[in-house]
Amino acid sequence: MRRLLPEPIVGLELERMELPAGASMSGIPHTPGTREYLTCERGEIELSESGRVWKLGPGDVVVFRGDQPHGYRNSGGAAAIAYSVITLAPPAG
């Protein structure tokens, strides 16, 4: 996982993830109301969130609740590359 922005932007994160074949990674739930956008550039990525599973291939994009437990898995036989855009909701209060 690598952050792509050279400086912080309030409420926004942009990350590049590279997962070897068969690798998986847990995502950390963000503040309530956060949305996350995941796009696959290369390979195959499975995204799981709240009991749902999306299978992404090159060019696919999915938006999901980033405030829920979620995880990523490379379900293919080669390295996968994906990009995540996280729009953070401000903390309550």
Residues 6+ apart with CB under 8 A from 73: 19, 23, 24, 25, 45, 46, 48
Select from 3.30.565.10, 2.60.120.10, 3.40.250.10, 3.40.50.300 the CATH code of 14-87: 2.60.120.10
How far, in Å, CA of 31 to CA of 27, rounded? 13
Q: Which tokens in the block code for residue 11?
A: 């409420």
Nearest to 39 by CA among 23, 15, 20: 15
pLDDT at res. 93: 63
pLDDT at res. 90: 78
How far, in Å, CA of 74 to CA of 49, rounded? 15
Q: What is the pLDDT of residues 31-46, one digit of tens each?
A: 999 999 999 999 999 9
pLDDT at res. 52: 95
The reported pTM is 0.90
pLDDT at res. 61: 98
- Asked if residue 11 lies in contact with residue 47, where contact means CB atoms within 8 angstroms, the answer is no
Regions in the chain scoring below 70 on pLDDT: 92-93
Amino acid letter at 29? P
